[in-house]
Amino acid sequence: MFIGKIPRDCYEDELFPVLARAGRVHELRLMMLFSGTNRGYAFVMYERPEEAKRAVDMLDGYEIRRGHRIGVLPCLNNCRLFIGCFGPGDRSPDELEQVGLLFRKFGPETVCSRPYSDKLALRTLKM
């Protein structure tokens, strides 16, 4: 799930108990700036889909602090691994197949090329 409108000085110790009201939190990723403050948003994964739905219903518009209401929306886990620099003439077909075998266990593989360069192919794995 996507959590937005988080106060910049709000951290996991304050967010986690609120999020746990809806169910068991599997992962909480609060996006941070180098300055040490957060970026105002986070991603949360619950153990079960029904817990995530409950969190949207319970927590969207929740006043985490006086005058600060968070926004909670469902989102897709779009975790991908990009492996680049495998142009058609750079590696033999056997070498490309070996690379594919190494990473295929992590998810389905897609081979694509960048629109501005037909020489550069990218391998994308959905994790």
| CATH at 62 | 3.30.70.330
pLDDT at 52: 94
Choose the final residue of a domain: 73, 94, 118. Answer: 73
Domain that holds residue 119: 80-126
- Assess whether 44 and 90 both reside in one domain: no
- Assess whether 65 and 104 both reside in one domain: no
pLDDT tens for the chain, 127 residues long, are 999 999 999 999 999 999 999 999 999 999 999 999 999 999 999 999 999 999 999 999 999 999 999 999 998 777 666 666 665 566 677 877 777 777 777 777 666 555 445 444 444 545 4
Alpha-carbon dihedral of residues 15, 16, 19, 25, nearest 10 degrees? Answer: 150
- Assess whether 28 and 44 both reside in one domain: yes
Do residues 86 and 96 make contact, with C-beta atoms less than 8 angstroms apart? Answer: yes
- Assess whether 14 and 32 both reside in one domain: yes
CB count within 10 Å of CB 9 equals: 10
Structural domains in the chain (count): 2
